[in-house]
Amino acid sequence: MVFSSITFLFAFLPAVLIVYYIAPKKLRNLVLFLFSLVFYAWGEAVYIWLMLASTVVAYVTGLLADRTKRKKDSKLPFFAMLAAVVWNMGLLLFFKYTDFFITTANNAFGTTIKLLGFTLPIGISFYSFQTLSYVIDVYKGDVKSQKNFLTLGAYVALFPQLIAGPIVRYKDVEEQLMQRSETVENFSLGVRRFAVGLGKKVILANNIGALFTLISETDQSEMTVLSAWLAAFAFTFQIYFDFSGYSDMAIGLGKMFGFTFRENFNYPYISDSITEFWRRWHISLSSWFRDYVYIPLGGNRKGKARQCVNIMIVWFLTGFWHGANWNFMIWGVYFGIILLIEKNFTLKGLAKAPKIVRHIYALLLIVIGWGIFAYEDFSLLGQNFANMFGLGGVPLTDRASVFNLLTYLVTFAVLIIASTPYPKKLGNWLENKKPVAFAVCEPVWIALLLIVSTAYLAGNSFNPFLYFRF
Amino acid sequence: MKVTKIKNYIVICLFLIFVFGFCFFGILQKDRDFSEMENRTLQKFPEVSYERIKSGEFTKEFETYMSDQVFLKDELVSVKTVTDLAFLKTKQNDVYFGSDGFYLKEFRQNNEQLDKNVGYINTFADKMPEDVKVSFLLAPNAVSVLEDKLPLINDTDDQAAAAKRIEDSLSDKVSFVCPLDDFSKRSDKDELYYHTDHHWTTKGAELGFDALMERMGESVPEADFTIEKLADFYGTMYSQAPYALAESDTIVLPTQNDNEITVSYEEPQGDHTAPKACKETDGVPAKSGLFADELRAVKDKYATFMGGNFTRLRINSEGAEKDESVLIVKDSYCNSMMPYFCTKYKDITVCDLRYFGMNTEAVSRLVEERGIKKVILVYNIDFINSDNSFVWLE
């Protein structure tokens, strides 16, 4: 199930809210756990067993990896941790990457090995990382092992973050899992966050996503340079509002049930460098790679050369995590290289350039990055870049592309404004200066967001979800 | 501090009303089979079984059910249309929001289909015996006649070019007329098309008939009509982008005084079933009069003319000017012209190629059997530009 659906809003959500708040505190984790299982099983019931198996593995290896419970020289915790790594990575490799490796081998060696043809278990990339980080943290002694299976189960399956993150770490929510206070303030914060997220996803991302789909389905004979750039910017906005909208909804829902998740996005498109961009984009993923790959590899403590290698490994893996396809790897390596260049050469020089130059520099590289990300088909990817840079032999503009530009002008303006912190600043300013006016405006604004989003969902419009496949 | 606290409660109440309100009223209200506003069938509550749940069929249909049967569905669809308009999207689902409340369907010239269809017409016409005359009325669409009502930013093609292309490639055997220029120059051109539907009005149909008669070298008979009006008509284009502020149309139904008209639904397959008033004679449903009374009250009121589109009809018009048999091959634009055709010809066979099949009697055989000397084609530009049923002419 996804949040941006009528079924979630008017069937699942009312049900879980009512049962959760009627249930005594002791049973609330059980309520969340059971509802989360329904949420997950909706549409693809089989893979629920896989997620439960993963939870059992995390539970057992977590207990065994707890060194405080063992003798000092016991090897058991290490092997338990290793088992968790093997299980989770094995699961990911098997379900996500096997077919990719088979296809690659078939292409390279002319073999005809049959593909497995599994559909990707929803959310596997997210819950594998979460359970793995739990066991590793237990092993490192950062956190105590969880003896109550239900509590751990509620953590893994927790529906707000189950299928598309943010990647919530066990140590961040350990206390909340055992004792949390659902307050009026938190609930109302959650509502606000959820409404904004829903609007970002349904009103903004879907709207601009329709433009990207329209252009990407255009025949090459009708392409123009302008269309190629429109598509690139459309995708840039679509993926941000799609994914950050989903994260907002997750954080908001978490608040409604008394959880506080860490932020996952921090206005990434106002960045002045790629280094800054990756501090603001999908924060829970990049910090996961930092803590569980980069630092264990030695980080920056083993000399400059080793650090560069480590960075490249992390970025190759980050790209690969997004999908079993070459374009995602190229996308990861692309950012790895830019980050290395920035770190070693240009970042200091860049800081002296005027802000507008830095901003255009960063945005251009980000948009090109999404150009790599958007096309899984290599010939399409190449053609797209040829079109963007006038090498595709296509005209600069035509009537259709100018029409699309003008029709989406208002939408682009709204998207640009919504990508900056200014709307939030405006809200904060109003709240401080005119608290009463704000107290009237904000609920009206939230009601508007909810109703218009519902209207889009009821209007059977275009409603894909990009991060569903990761 | 206190203000913030009150606001928190307001926000929470609002959200709970939203979530539980839609949930509660959604359960309470009766499910609908059909959305008149969107002109489509809605999903009913799906059948529950273990197998269907396991295969995912149930959940998929349940999601459709939830969004189809959501409380205040029609109002919500309206809100979506208005929001899109607020984003200055004047084109929604290939329909432009024109000035003066006109919905205008985008036209994209498709030369491949056009040439193919004209080819079929030519082959058909050239095979006709010397003494059979073939005439072709090409009806322009609102998007070109009311071009000045299009939004400033639009991406629609010029229908005059399409009409020219058709005229230039038609066989000499076919007398062709397209009243696009005449329509565009008229001061009352706003009255020739519906605001919310893709058809021409009865007025447009009458002028189309006049243009056709002129081209065929025939006079337009003097006739008295009793006029009936059907108000609150929201047409097909409204269904593409419905919203509450749209103004409805009125359909004019002209009935010729002192004329006995009988319509036989010889091949009654089509987009509707034969009208209820039909009585079977020799296995063929037939009724008197051109209008289907039961369709006056439904959403798609345009189907009141002839009761919709059917493979083949035969109309007997006792009071017609000429005791002649003609054959018309047509699309739905022709349906509102029938009152005028009935003033002229006594025996009219009407074919709609869209519903033809392997077992349908070919048009050329009909011409032979019924001793027909005049074949008339009536098509609108959008139709001939996109339809692929012309192959049945051969």
Alpha carbon A321 to chain centroid, angstroms: 11
Q: Nearest-CA distance from A62 to chain B in Å?
A: 32
Instruction: Report residue B93 as tokens.
Output: 């689902």
Read off the pLDDT band of A200 (50, 70, 90).
very high
pTM reported for the whole predicted model: 0.85
Given CB atoms, is B17 within the 8 Å cutoff of chain A? no
Q: Which residues 8-67 in chain A show a CB within 8 A of chain B?
A: 9-11, 13-14, 17, 42-45
Residues A370 and A374: their CA atoms lie apart, in Å, by 6
Question: Exposed (0-12), middle (13-18) or buried (19+): which is A85, by Cβ within 10 Å?
Answer: middle
Helix axes A206-216, A225-256, angle to 10 degrees: 150
Contacts of B54 in chain A (CB under 8 A): 45
**B80/A455 CB distance under 8 A:** yes
pLDDT of residue A31: 94
Q: Are B274 and B285 in contact (CB under 8 A)?
A: yes
Residues of A in contact with B8 (CB under 8 A): 184-185, 187-188
**Confidence band for A113, pLDDT divided at 50, 70 and 90:** confident
Q: pLDDT tens digits for chain B (394 residues)? A: 577 888 899 999 999 999 999 999 988 888 888 777 776 778 888 888 888 887 778 888 888 888 888 898 888 888 988 898 889 888 888 899 998 989 999 999 999 999 999 999 999 999 999 999 999 999 999 999 999 999 888 889 999 999 999 999 999 999 999 999 999 999 999 999 999 999 999 999 999 999 999 999 999 999 999 999 999 999 888 888 888 778 899 999 999 998 999 999 999 998 888 998 889 888 899 999 999 988 888 888 999 999 999 999 999 999 999 999 999 999 999 999 999 999 999 999 999 999 998 888 889 999 999 999 999 999 999 999 999 999 998 7
Asked whether residue A133 carries a pLDDT value surpassing 80, the answer given is yes
Q: Which of residues 153-172 of B touch A (CB under 8 A)?
A: 153-155
Do A458 and B80 lie within an 8 Å CB cutoff?
yes
CB B145 within 8 Å of CB B183: yes
Q: Under a CB-based contact definition with an 8 Å cutoff, are residues A439 and A433 in contact?
A: no
Q: What pLDDT score does A218 carry?
A: 86
* Mean pLDDT of all residues in A404-428: 94
- Please report, for chain B, the start and end positions of each structural domain, with discontinuous segments joined by +: 2-75, 101-393
How many cross-chain Cβ pairs, A to B, lie less than 8 Å apart?
A: 126
pLDDT tens-digit series, residues A23-37: 999 899 999 999 999
Give chain A positions within 8 Å (CB) of B83.
203, 452, 455-456
Q: Kindly identify which residue of chain A lies nearest to residue B89, measuring between CA atoms.
A: A407
Average pLDDT, chain A: 89
Report pLDDT for A465: 54
Give the tens place of pLDDT for each residue, A142-187: 888 899 999 999 999 999 988 787 899 998 888 898 888 889 999 9
Please give the biggest Cα pair distance in chain A: 75
Question: With contact defined as beta carbons under 8 Å apart, do A397 and A226 qualify?
Answer: yes
A282 is an active site residue: no
Q: Which of B8, B14, B19 sits opposite A14 (nearest CB)?
A: B19
Please answer yes or no on whether B11 and A403 come within 8 Å at the CB atom. Answer: no
Complex-level ipTM: 0.87
B76 touches chain A (CB under 8 A): yes
Least confidently predicted of A63-72, A330-339, A392-401: A63-72
| Mean pLDDT of all residues in A110-127 | 82
A462 touches chain B (CB under 8 A): no
pLDDT of residue A76: 86
Q: What's the pLDDT score for residue A468?
A: 52
Q: A120 to chain B, minimum CA–CA distance in Å?
A: 15
Q: Which long-range contacts (CB under 8 A, 24 or more apart) does A14-17 make?
A: A14/B19, A14/B20, A14/B23, A16/A159, A17/A256, A17/B16, A17/B19
Q: How many of the other CB atoms lie within 10 Å of CB of A114?
A: 8
Q: Which of A322, A368, A401, A470 is catalytic?
A: A322
Find which of B6, B12, B14, B15 to mutate to test the A interface (most A CBs within 10 Å of its CB).
Answer: B15
Q: pLDDT for A349-359, tens place per residue?
A: 777 888 899 99
A454 contacts on B by Cβ (under 8 Å) = 22, 70, 76
B88 touches chain A (CB under 8 A): yes
The residues with which B286 forms a beta bridge, in sequence order, are B264, B279
Which of B12, B20, B89 lies closest to A184 in CB terms?
B12
Question: pLDDT per residue over A282-338, tens digit each?
Answer: 999 999 999 999 988 887 888 888 888 999 999 999 998 888 888 899 999 999 999
| pLDDT computed for residue B361 by the predictor | 87
Q: Say yes or no: A405 contacts chain B, CB-CB below 8 A.
A: no
Q: Which of A57-61, A212-216, B65-69 has the lowest mean pLDDT?
A: B65-69
Is A410 close to B26, i.e. CB distance below 8 A? no
User: Which of helix, strand or coil describes residue B326?
Assistant: strand
Residue B357's CB: how many other CB atoms inside 10 A? 9
